Structure 1
Amino acid sequence: MKAFKYLFLRVTLLSLLVISVLSAALYQLPVDNSYVTATFLEFRSTGKTPHFHSGIDFSTFLKEGIPIKAVEEGYLRRLEIDLNDIYGYTVVLEHLDGYRTLYAHLSKFSDNAEKLANMLRDEFGSKRIVVEFLSNDVKVAKGEVIGYSGKTGEAAQAHCHFEVRSKDEKIIYDPLDFLDKGALKPVQMQIILKRIVVDGVEYDYVENANYKFKGSYPKIAVETYTELAKNLLGVKEIKMYFSGNLVYHIILDRLPMEYWEKPYNLYNEKTLMTAIIYRGYYNLYAEDSLPFVKVNSIDKYSSSTYSVQLEVSDGFGNSRKFSFNLVRG
């Protein structure tokens, strides 16, 4: 990637924009008649170092120039003007509920912002430009077009990357918890469990099969997804039971930003992501305290055999149970 000098600007602009009335708690979709093509905290190996996918992606049906809309009324807080940064052209809004939303990989901004971007590009060339709006002068209405879909940054295909962050941008949240999911384009989906790793040995998953382990307790990782429109999406929650007792529980609903470049806290080393392959293995054990691990008591069990049940759920309301057995050997 070409090296760029960074330019950081702070500006205050006056703008006459329509203000919408205070809306319901749920945000509208940033893309009309769309569906989700990538979910929160999936593994990513793009950029300088592996990291979590910190938002969700909406299909723009591989087209550039599709309108991207503000999910709620608020104020413009930041423009990022950079073709080669991981996010590409980016808009950040702040809303009355205190959250910020981010829209990335845009091909261009809305008319007024694009005029400002062109002026800055003319003056500063290909430098990375970050424009911060410190006041509430630039108001944005719910449903207002703030940019157009593209593939700037490290997007392989045109789409809309969307995030929800805390006001200080130190915590990222699963956007599906904020959106009106009933407005998503209906797409057939199901939860699948493809493979299981036990103490480093990988197996195809077979319902009620027996798998061997050797350690003081079984170190398990599972390759599981929501299959949606032939895409494999990450899941949101996994519960693991030993003989009916909950021993491990993860919920992927939020993440402090200091963990953004630490995806191997969640994913097994067998996880692989290329331009055409995504194989994500969730570790169901942890030696450290992690923000997404709610229950971790596997090391308190010392049996030679376990009847294991997994309950896997996604952010769309789907849930499915899987069963297998572990035998010390």
Structure 2
Amino acid sequence: MTDKIMWRGFGVLLLMLLLLSSNVWARTDTLLYPLKNIPLLSGNFGELRATHLHSGLDFKTEGREGLPVICVKEGIVARVKVSATGYGNALYLEHEGGITTVYAHLSRFSPRVAKVVRNIQYNKESFEVDENMLGYELRFHAGDTIAYSGNTGSSGGPHLHFEVRDTKTEHVLNPLRFLLVKDQTGPNVRGVYVYPVSNEGLRTSPYRVEVKNTGNRVFRGGRVCVPAGRVGIGVQSDDYMKDSWNKLGVYDLSVSANGREVFKMIMNELSFDQTFLVNELKDFHHYRDSRLVYLTFGNYQEQLLSVCNQDRGFILVEKDSVVDVVVDLSDINGNRSKIMFQLWGKFPSLEWGLAEGEKLLMNHQSDSLKKGKYTLWLEADALSHPIVCKSVVYSCLRDSVETIEVFSTGKQIYPLMKSARLQVSGKFPEKSVICLLEKNKRFSALKTRWTEEGLEASSRVLGEYTVRQDTIAPVILYMGRAGRKIRFRIADDLSGISSYRVEVNGKWCLFTYDAKNRLLEGNINEPVFVKGKNRLVLKVEDAVKNIAIFETDIYKK
């Protein structure tokens, strides 16, 4: 009887394991690959980017455009978006099971889709469209070609951006939950940073902890002396997949202090509403220097769907005590790496004093910075943590010729989670704009509003600002014809191109616009062209309504 019970129990266990195994394979085999070639990634889900966490997978296309893009599961076209920036040409398909798939940076759509999109563009007299397509009943089967890969929008090179979304919530899901990509190597560990934090929440310059691989991807960093009090950990890490040189983001990252988990990140799901939190998860200043450092602490990190922590991820180090820290990292295939080191509270707690002219800005309070005619307002929770600023107005020489007046909020640029409102009081010439002063004294125009007091603009960083006057119209360069193609380059030196319109024989004509290459391109086979002479008029307007017009005759045989 005992043997029968034992074997019955073994049978039940085996059945459960088989069911679990079948569920895993069903999940990973749900979708086809969106390309026919061997899948290689140049970007993965949740990867740290300049202004966001990456919302999908970037598939390599061998540096080429025009590869067939495959419908990964039977579905219906729900949305089409055409834009000169962002996703460029993008296609959205809804599927049974509550998921939507997105295919972006496409060179062109399949003929069935392209015909509908073209009609919408002509009806709206607009190259850029964002259209709900469910009413058109454009259905595709798994394996059908729905589009062709490209490099449109803000793409930095030919590739396919692919997303999986929850149709109901519109949250983006990690596509590798539905696809299997070969990867046998755990994340790389390049270093660890320790961030002492004052009682006010101020972060001091981080200490870099050199770590050494002691075998089996276990990295050790020894004992680190820190001031007593709260400490945050930053991990410089990235990941690679087989046969690809591109650096990818980490999937799973956890930090434990004396055996207690204080931080956990698993990149399974993200919300577009949380884009502003990207700098809660990365060291902004290291990123500007091309180093990917994950922060495992922060006042607002728990708002991210992919993160949970204890005590906001901070580690408390008592005076003369030692804390054992363990960092675990892995990719979605379970390849792991581990970091081990100690924090020793050797020094007294940090004390902070303000120098003359400095101001402490608290993250949870609204505040303002004023100097002369400049006033910058901050909402509560615009900052991720307290910072010290010193507002100054100074003059500097630009291009060895021109002297400009600059309003500076401090020595460092700080990202904001909510836009700051900058007002410059006084009377200004027509077409004046507020600009952010970038590296090498380059101007980045902000969308400027005129008020009774003067000028006003919003900014997503604390930095340096100046006022410029944009009186120069956009530049139009006619590049001539190349076969059926008619090409222009259009550019604006300051406020940026706001709109363009091409008319042929007095009627609107479809021309595509590639903003990153400043390329405007049309086809002589568009229906507004007739045999013989055609009068083409191009009108380009910038953000402060400077207008450039170019006219020419185009002959069609």
TM-score of Structure 1 vs Structure 2, range by shorter chain: 0.7 to 0.9
Matched-pair contact (CA < 8 Å) for 1:270–1:281: no
Q: For structure 2, list consecutive stretches of 5 or more residues without a partner in the other structure.
A: 1-24, 196-204, 212-219, 348-557
Q: Check if 1:246 corresponds to 2:261.
A: yes
Residue number in structure 2 paired with 1:294: 308
- Give the number of equivalent residue pairs: 295
Does the aligned pair in 2 maintain the 1:286–1:296 contact within 8 Å?
Answer: no
Residue 212 of structure 1 deviates from its aligned partner by 3.1
Q: Give the drift of 1:146.
A: 1.2
**Pairing partner for 1:31 from 24, 29, 35:** 35
Corresponding position of 2:391: none
Task: Please state if 1:281 is matched with 2:300.
Answer: no
TM-score (norm 2): 0.50
- Structure 1 residue 88 and structure 2 residue 100: aligned? no
Q: CA RMSD in A?
A: 2.3
Equivalent residues of 1:81, 1:88 under 8 A apart: yes
Local SS of the residue matching 2:176: helix
Check the 8 A contact 1:195/1:202 in 2, yes or no: no
Which range is displaced more, 291-300 or 317-326? 291-300
Q: Does the 8 Å CA contact 2:184/2:335 hold for their aligned counterparts?
A: no
Q: Superposed, which structure 2 residues align to 1:1-329 within 5 Å?
A: 24-25=26-27, 26-32=30-36, 33-45=38-50, 50-82=51-83, 84-122=84-122, 124=124, 126-135=126-135, 137-168=137-168, 170-179=170-179, 181=180, 184=181, 186=182, 189-199=185-195, 200-203=205-208, 205-206=210-211, 207-214=220-227, 216-228=229-241, 229-272=244-287, 278-288=290-300, 289-290=302-303, 291-297=305-311, 298-299=313-314, 301-303=316-318, 304-328=321-345, 329=347
TM-score (norm 1): 0.82
Letter in 1 for 2:155: A
Partner of 2:147, secondary structure, is strand
Q: Which amino acid aligns with 1:62?
A: G
Cα 1:64–1:230 change in 2 (3 A) is same
- Structure 1 residue 154, shift from structure 2 partner: 0.8
What amino acid is the match of 2:309?
V
CA change 1:168–1:128 in 2 (3 A) is farther
Instruction: State the 1:86 CA deviation.
Output: 0.7
State percent identity of aligned pairs. Answer: 27
CA positional deviation for 1:127: 3.7
Q: Is the 8 A contact 1:198 1:212 kept in 2?
A: no
| Structure 2 SS opposite 1:194 | strand
How far apart in 1 are the matches of 2:191 and 2:104? 33
One-letter identity of the residue aligned with 1:281:
V
CA distance in 2, matches of 1:189, 1:125: 51
Deviations 1:82-141 (A, max 9, x none): 2x2210000000010111111100011112112233344455555420121234822111
1:8 is aligned to none
| Letter matched to residue 194 of structure 1 | R
Q: Any idea what SS the aligned residue of 2:240 has?
A: strand
CA separation in 2, counterparts of 1:215 and 1:284? 19
The gaps in structure 1 that reach 5 residues or longer are 1-22
Larger radius of gyration: 2
